[in-house]
């Protein structure tokens, strides 16, 4: 399991929790079809307002592993149902110039946000609790079974009592 | 035996300096003041053209939010002065991603995005000229190039949901005003997919524009050359090589943020972020073009072996008529971000990476812009933050060739 470093969590907390608005002209590059992916700031606001966990998907236009996951994993009805119903979904295009405006006054692009978040490859998924706390990061291809397990771990609140590693071992 | 060991030690010590320290930095000056809470300067323009030099002065352009909204500012320094001028506000409304190029007689041309439009104006010893609007809406990612009195600007523009890369030929009138001679799209037919961050360069042999293009279903770098001063453009050519075809989903690796600069009499240097190394993140790759960018050679890895397993960001390029050229970028191989440089060595191979002491060390030094002048002096502009989310400031450094 890829554990999030304290530095990464600190960076994501400091940036995500102060997100305010995203320019209205933003265009999502290529999240999977059939999902309610939102620009990051809108998703962050919705997650906070509705007390729902958030999945942050760092993708790239044309990313081959992203395409494979869209075709072989996100196409699964159970994955679709769980993530659309139980998560707020956010998508960041790691090469786009779409602007993110932070509450502290800084405006940056999705590309710069991804680089400062030390995202090396796509897809990278970061799961957040309903309390907006980053829980864990998964990079690269994830299977249907893995996505279901991660979803259950977060949506059912198991993260409050055990690590993801322990949860997966208990299944 | 002792002699052999001593000789080997000497070789080991001597090699890195021969390979890397091509310039010696003798100047470090603040472009902006001490970091101010809530103020964030940015150097994120297309092609990273944030620094320009004339024979008499150097000028830097950037965006920051000191006024409460993102605005573009410029500051300049005469060669015989040891401080930059107070920042002059260039833009109004909400403005981003500026560019600058030098002109004869100690003048500069500036361009930027403002409320979705593209604007340009001249900077002279007397101050800022009146702004001229190059595109009225749906436009961004402007870049500039100049050659003598000739000025060219490129940007992306969306019209009726179709995307274009456009290029303007500009001139300065006898009255010192900036005039628009022509604006043409690089390709007449617009695209339903985005084009991003075009960069432009010009020399005696022609003008070329390179950009991120998504028409293939993923991002490729395309380049197009104009032999007639931006009146027409040739069929776009591929700049980056497609090194992956692993499965039915794979159409090539990620590439982004290309930067162009002229060097020698008719050559063009292109460098960009390239994900052909897979999960290691972006590498810095380059290609050398001849005949004003009509033909580009094979892709070349710029960063050295020491950087082979790290991601690299924000490449900037510059060259001069003498044939010198250099690439700058940032990466965090030492924990936090530092500025790195590479240029061809005596064997016409990219040197070992060189991190100038003035632009490295504690804190985050990133987002370089560079200008190589006719005397071979390297001018460097960069951003510094105490940590990745802290307020920032801009520094300028100058290096003499060894």
Query: What ipTM goes with this model?
Result: 0.90
- Residue of chain A with shortest Cα separation from B332: A118
Per the CB < 8 A criterion, the answer to whether B103 and B149 are in contact is yes
Contact between A60 and B254 using a beta-carbon 8 Å cutoff: yes
On average, the pLDDT of chain A sits at 85
Please classify residue B180 by burial: count the beta carbons closer than 10 Å to its beta carbon, then call 0-12 exposed, 13-18 middle and 19+ buried.
Answer: middle
What's the pLDDT score for residue B1? 44
Of A97, A104, A106, the CB nearest to B196: A97
Question: Alpha-carbon distance B380 to A65, whole Å?
Answer: 38
pLDDT tens-digit series, residues B227-280 = 999 999 999 999 999 776 678 888 888 999 999 999 999 999 999 999 998 788
Higher pLDDT, A151 or B68: A151
Rounded percentage of chain A residues whose pLDDT exceeds 70: 81
CB B140 within 8 A of CB B96: yes
Digit-coded pLDDT (tens) for B120-148: 999 999 999 999 999 999 999 999 999 99
Q: At what angle do helices A77-86 and A144-155 cross, to 10 degrees?
A: 20
Whole-prediction pTM value? 0.91
The CA-CA-CA angle for residues A48, A24, B191, to 5°, reads 130
Q: Is the pLDDT of residue A145 over 90?
A: yes
pLDDT of residue B7 exceeding 50: no
Cβ contacts of A107 on chain B, cutoff 8 Å:
40, 42, 65, 70, 96
| Closest chain A CA to residue B258 | A95
Interval A84-121: pLDDT, tens? 999 999 999 999 999 987 666 688 999 999 998 899 99
Q: Where are the domains of chain A?
A: 6-23+33-170
Question: How confident is residue B388, by pLDDT bands cut at 50, 70 and 90?
Answer: confident
CB contact under 8 A, B96 and A108: no
Confidence of residue A4 (pLDDT cuts 50, 70, 90): low
Inter-chain residue contact A139 with B279, CB threshold 8 Å: yes
Residue B394 — pLDDT band, cuts 50, 70, 90? very high
pLDDT of residue A29: 52
Fold classified for A6-23+33-170:
Glutaredoxin (3.40.30)
Distance, CA of B361 to CA of B336 (rounded, Å): 8
Closest chain B CA to residue A97: B196
Query: Is residue A70 classed as helix, strand or coil in its secondary structure?
Result: helix
How many interface pairs between A and B have CB atoms less than 8 angstroms apart? 82
Separation of alpha carbons A163 and A91, rounded Å: 25
Q: How many CA atoms lie within 13 A of B370 on its CB side?
A: 33
Contacts of B256 in chain A (CB under 8 A): 95, 111
Residue of A nearest to B275 (CA): A121
Which of B160, B213, B155, B164 has its CA nearest to residue B190?
B164
- Span B22-32+40-401 CATH architecture: 6 Propeller (2.120)
**How much helix, strand and coil, in percent to the nearest 5, is found in chain A?**
40, 20, 35
pLDDT for position B6: 44
Q: Per-residue DSSP letters for A30-53?
A: -PPTTS-EEEHHHHHHHHHHHT--
**DSSP track, B4-15:** HHHHHHHHHHHH
* Tens of pLDDT, residues A19-34: 433 333 334 458 999 9
Q: What is the DSSP letter of B359?
A: G
A64/B279 CB distance under 8 A = no
Residue of A nearest to B283 (CA): A120
Between B38, B140, B212, which is nearest A104 by CB?
A: B38
Judged by average pLDDT, the poorest of A10-14, B96-100, B249-253, B316-320 is A10-14
Q: H or E segment at B373?
A: none
Residues of chain A positioned with their CB less than 8 A from the CB of B244: 64
* Cβ <8 Å between B280 and A120: yes
Quick: pLDDT tens for B295-313.
999 999 999 998 898 999 9
Quote the CA–CA distance of A150 and A165 in Å, as a whole number: 10
Q: How confident is the model at residue A2 (pLDDT cuts 50, 70, 90)?
A: very low
Decide if B267 contacts B290 (C-beta within 8 A).
yes
Tell me which of B117, B256, B315, B331 to substitute to probe the interface with A (most A C-beta atoms closer than 10 Å). Answer: B256
Q: In degrees rounded to 5, what are phi and psi of residue B12?
A: -65, -35
Mean pLDDT of B168-180: 92
Question: CA A63, CA A49: separation in Å to the nearest integer?
Answer: 32
Which residue bears the tokens 């890397």?
B20
Per-residue pLDDT reduced to its tens digit, B67-116: 999 999 999 999 999 999 999 999 999 999 999 999 999 999 999 999 99
**What is the rounded CA–CA span in Å between residue B62 and residue B395?**
12
Chain A partners of B217 at a C-beta cutoff of 8 Å? 62
Percent of chain B with pLDDT over 90: 86
What is the reported pLDDT for B246?
73
Looking at residue B248, its pLDDT comes to 84
Q: Quick one: average pLDDT of B45-67?
A: 97
Contacts of B194 in chain A (CB under 8 A): 27
- Mean pLDDT for all residues in chain B: 93
Exposure on the CB side of residue B45, measured as CA atoms within 13 A:
40
> Chain A residue with minimal CA distance to B213?
A61
Counted residue by residue, chain A has a size of: 171
Please answer whether residues B300 and B292 qualify as being in contact, where contact means their C-beta atoms are separated by less than 8 angstroms. Answer: no
- Span B183-211, pLDDT tens digits: 999 999 999 999 999 999 999 999 999 99
pLDDT tens-place string over residues B277-295? 878 899 999 999 999 999 9
Which parts of chain A fold into alpha helices (H)? 6-16, 40-50, 64-72, 77-86, 110-116, 144-155, 164-170
With bands split at pLDDT 50, 70 and 90, how would you rate the model's confidence at B19? very low
What angle is formed at CA B44 by the lines to CA B41 and CA B46, rounded to 5 degrees? 150
As a whole-number percent, the residues of chain B with pLDDT over 70 amount to 95
Contact B254 A97 (CB under 8 A): no
Interface probe with B: pick from A17, A93, A95, A121, most Cβ of B within 10 Å: A95
How far from B179 is each of A76, B102, B113, B207, CA to CA, in Å? 57, 16, 18, 19
Nearest-Cα residue of chain B relative to residue A7: B388
A122 neighbourhood in chain B, CB within 8 Å:
254
Sign of CA dihedral B129, B131, B132, B134: positive
The answer to whether residue B246 neighbours chain A at the CB level (below 8 Å) is yes
**pLDDT band at residue A61 under the 50/70/90 scheme:** very high
Cα B30 to Cα A104: distance, rounded to the nearest angstrom? 24
Tokens of B161: 């949901």
Contact between B95 and B71 (Cβ < 8 Å) = yes
Mean pLDDT score, B309-338: 96
């Amino acid at each position: 399991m890829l554990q999030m470093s304290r530095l990464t969590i600190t960076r994501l907390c400091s940036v995500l929790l102060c997100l305010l608005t995203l320019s209205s002209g933003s265009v999502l590059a290529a999240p999977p079809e059939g999902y309610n992916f939102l620009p990051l700031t809108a998703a962050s606001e919705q997650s906070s307002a509705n007390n729902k966990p958030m999945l942050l998907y760092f993708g790239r236009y044309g990313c081959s592993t992203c395409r494979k996951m869209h075709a072989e994993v996100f196409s699964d009805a159970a994955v679709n149902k769980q993530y659309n119903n139980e998560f707020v979904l956010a998508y960041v295009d790691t090469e786009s110039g779409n602007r993110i405006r932070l509450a502290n006054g800084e405006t940056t692009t999705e590309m710069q946000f991804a680089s400062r978040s030390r995202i090396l490859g796509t897809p990278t998924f970061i799961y957040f609790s309903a309390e907006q706390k980053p829980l864990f990061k998964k990079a690269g291809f994830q299977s249907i079974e893995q996505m279901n397990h991660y979803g259950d771990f977060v949506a059912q609140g198991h993260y409050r009592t055990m690590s993801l590693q322990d949860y997966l071992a208990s299944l | 035996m002792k002699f052999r060991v001593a000789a080997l030690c000497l070789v080991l010590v001597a090699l890195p300096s021969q390979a890397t320290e091509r310039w010696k930095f003798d100047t470090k000056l603040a472009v902006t003041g001490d970091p101010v809470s809530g103020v964030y300067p940015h150097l994120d323009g297309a092609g990273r053209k944030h620094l320009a030099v004339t024979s008499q002065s150097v000028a830097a352009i950037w965006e920051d939010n000191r006024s409460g909204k993102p605005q573009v500012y410029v500051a300049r320094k005469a060669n015989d002065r040891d401080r930059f001028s107070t920042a002059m506000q260039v833009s109004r409304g909400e403005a981003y991603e500026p560019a600058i190029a030098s002109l004869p007689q100690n003048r500069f041309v500036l361009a930027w995005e403002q409320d979705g439009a593209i604007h340009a104006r001249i900077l002279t010893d007397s101050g800022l000229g009146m702004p001229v609007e190059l595109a009225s809406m749906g436009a961004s990612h402007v870049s500039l190039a100049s050659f003598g009195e000739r000025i060219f600007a490129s940007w992306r523009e969306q019209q009726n949901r179709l995307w274009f890369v456009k290029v303007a030929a500009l001139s300065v009138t006898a009255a010192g005003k900036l005039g628009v001679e022509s604006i043409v799209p690089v390709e007449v037919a617009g695209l339903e997919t985005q084009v991003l961050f075009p960069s432009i360069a010009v020399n005696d042999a022609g003008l070329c524009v390179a950009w991120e293009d998504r028409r293939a279903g993923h991002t490729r770098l395309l380049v197009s050359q104009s032999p007639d001063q931006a009146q027409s453009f040739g069929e776009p050519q591929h700049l980056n090589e497609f090194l992956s075809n692993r499965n039915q989903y794979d159409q090539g690796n990620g590439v982004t943020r290309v930067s162009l600069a002229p060097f020698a009499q008719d050559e063009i240097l292109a460098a960009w972020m390239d994900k052909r190394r897979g999960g290691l993140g972006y590498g810095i790759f380059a290609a050398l073009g001849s005949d004003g960018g009509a033909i580009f050679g094979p892709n070349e890895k710029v960063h050295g072996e020491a950087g082979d397993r790290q991601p690299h960001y924000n490449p900037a390029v510059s060259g001069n008529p003498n044939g010198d050229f250099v690439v700058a970028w940032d990466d965090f191989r030492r924990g936090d971000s530092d500025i790195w440089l590479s240029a061809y060595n005596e064997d016409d191979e990219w040197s070992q990476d060189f991190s100038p002491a003035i632009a490295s060390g504690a804190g985050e030094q990133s987002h370089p812009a560079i200008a190589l002048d006719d005397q071979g002096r390297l001018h460097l502009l960069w951003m510094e933050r105490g940590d990745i989310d802290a307020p920032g400031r801009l520094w300028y450094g100058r290096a003499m060739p060894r």
